Amino acid sequence: MVLENRVLGTRSALAAAMPKAHVLPTLQTNAERSRSFVIWNEAIRKAPNALAYLDACEPGQVNIAKIIEDDHLSAVTVAYDAPEEIRDGIKRGTVLAAVPGAFFLQSYLAVHFAVQAIHGGKPLPHGWLRIVPPVIDPTNIEAFIKAWAEPQTGLPAFYKPQVDAALAKGVDAGLQPMGNYDNPVK
């Protein structure tokens, strides 16, 4: 469902921001990196002047960045994940930005609330907390890479603003009913 939501969200945002842009149908790419590369290489060769290329899966994102760089294309790409190849692409300017999943934030906050419930006597929250992941771009890529070099201390420091913002909201104010989990937030 996550990948489908990524595709639908991207298509909706593109339609709203650039209503005259022609968005090609979604490619049936592959989770295996080498197969994904072949599919994307062929697609980009067919449409070398596209404004952007996007894939909802990490292998496709990495391959798109590599093809854009290797072929010296003027297109841009944004990634939903931030493996080393994408981080390096952001540093070199071939990837505009990455908006990776907020897995550290989700885990940190889940443990925080569980500890508060177990050791602090507070009720365990019910529902889900909408966590907005940070955009990783040239302004913070070095800090992001540094955070991953020493994850035990680096990640808490890097994500501190998002953790503080989530905790400042208060659990009751930020939780959504479980039934709303897959519905877009407006």
Cβ burial of 64 (10 Å; 0-12, 13-18, 19+) is buried
Amino acid identity, residue 115?
Answer: V
Distance CA 47, CA 57 (A): 20
**Per-residue confidence band for 43, with pLDDT thresholds at 50, 70 and 90:** very high
More confident residue, 172 or 68: 68
Whether this model's pTM surpasses 0.85: no
Q: Is the pLDDT of residue 185 over 70?
A: no
Chain segment 46-77, per-residue pLDDT in tens: 998 888 888 888 999 999 999 999 999 888 88
Q: Which domains does the chain have, with CATH numbers?
A: 2-98 (3.40.50.2300), 103-180 (no CATH)
Cβ atoms of 141 and 149 within 8 Å: the answer is: no
pLDDT at residue 176 above 70?
Answer: no
Q: What is the pLDDT of residues 107-150, one digit of tens each?
A: 888 888 889 889 988 877 777 777 778 899 999 999 999 998 99
